[in-house]
């Protein structure tokens, strides 16, 4: 038969060496779990591997605007921040990256940053977007602990935290939560992660700086608040 469930249970790497698992868009759930189990003594099959892998980038945070210094490469043209994040995540020694005039540079040092960014984005989902006057500076975040994973697949992942700062929670970047431009607080209404990046850059002309102690004193204990931390991923078949 063309579709079957192999035994014994094993990890993805071992399974991929035995056969070529079907891709997500080619899977018919009823075929795998009903038809193939009719030929097997063991009926209680609940999970099966696919051949689709999600390759995540490193976690990063927007830390302000400044000048690019000592890039690791000559730069590539990018359309979105996610494109630059994916590119520089491939460099093990990269600690930050910048975007200037739609050109992405990977760095192994921290560039000088200022508190203001004069930039305007056409679409909120493109923020932080490219600025011709200064480089948008992003830092790879390595000191994250107590991250609560999402229960479902999320295309664009951003992180919230609480006033107690006891854990970070992975959420959909389009979900609405509270934020603040100078520090994370309850001073503003609930917005998506993208809307807040745009709001703080254009309305207040200040950057949303990454800080592990970014919760303001007026934050409410029962609410979730955006951090500037995000990541992207690539689906590989």
pLDDT of 234 > 90? The answer is no
Would you give the DSSP letter of residue 215?
B
Cα separation, 77 vs 65, in Å, equals 19
Domain ranges of the chain: 2-64, 76-139
Looking at residue 121, its pLDDT comes to 59
pLDDT of 213: 53
Backbone angles phi, psi at 152, to 5 degrees: -130, 165
What average pLDDT does the segment 139-167 reach?
82
- In this prediction, residue 55 has a pLDDT band, given cuts at 50, 70 and 90, of confident
CB 197 within 8 A of CB 208: yes
> What is the Cα–Cα distance from 195 to 216, expressed in whole angstroms?
20
Q: What is the pLDDT of residues 19-52, one digit of tens each?
A: 777 777 776 666 666 655 555 555 566 777 888 8
In this predicted structure, what is the pLDDT of residue 1? Answer: 42
pTM score, whole prediction: 0.76
H or E segment to which residue 231 belongs: strand 225-231
Tokens of 8: 């014994």
β-pair type (147-148, 113-114): unpaired
Note the pLDDT of residue 85: 92
Segments of 8-122 assigned E as strands? 53-56, 60-66, 76-77, 96-100, 103-107, 113-114
Instruction: Report residue 70 CA to chain centroid gap.
Output: 25
Lowest average pLDDT, out of 37-46, 54-63, 128-137, goes to 37-46
Cβ atoms 107, 174 nearer than 8 A: no
CA distances from 1 to 4, 22, 32 (A): 7, 14, 11
Tokens in use for 134?
């200064």
């Amino acid at each position: 038969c063309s579709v079957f469930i192999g035994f014994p249970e094993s990890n993805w790497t071992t399974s991929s060496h035995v056969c070529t698992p079907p891709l997500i868009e080619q899977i018919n759930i009823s075929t795998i779990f009903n038809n193939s189990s009719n030929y097997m003594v063991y009926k209680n099959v609940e999970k099966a591997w696919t051949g689709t892998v999600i390759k995540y980038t490193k976690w990063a945070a927007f830390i302000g605007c400044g000048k690019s210094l000592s890039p690791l490469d000559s730069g590539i043209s990018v359309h979105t921040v996610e494109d630059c994040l994916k590119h520089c995540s491939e460099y093990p020694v990269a600690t930050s990256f910048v975007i200037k005039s739609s050109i992405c540079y990977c760095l192994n040092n921290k560039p000088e940053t200022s508190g203001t960014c004069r930039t305007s984005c056409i679409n909120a989902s493109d923020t932080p977007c490219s600025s011709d006057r200064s480089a948008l500076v992003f830092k790879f975040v390595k000191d994250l602990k107590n991250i609560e994973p999402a229960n479902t697949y999320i295309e664009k992942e951003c992180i919230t935290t609480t006033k107690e700062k006891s854990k970070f929670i992975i959420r959909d970047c389009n979900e609405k939560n509270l934020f603040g431009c100078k520090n994370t607080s309850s001073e503003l209404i609930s917005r998506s992660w993208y809307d807040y990046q745009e709001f703080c850059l254009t309305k207040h002309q200040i950057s949303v700086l990454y800080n592990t102690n970014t919760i303001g004193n007026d934050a409410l204990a029962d609410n979730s608040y955006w951090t500037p931390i995000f990541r992207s991923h690539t689906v590989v078949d």
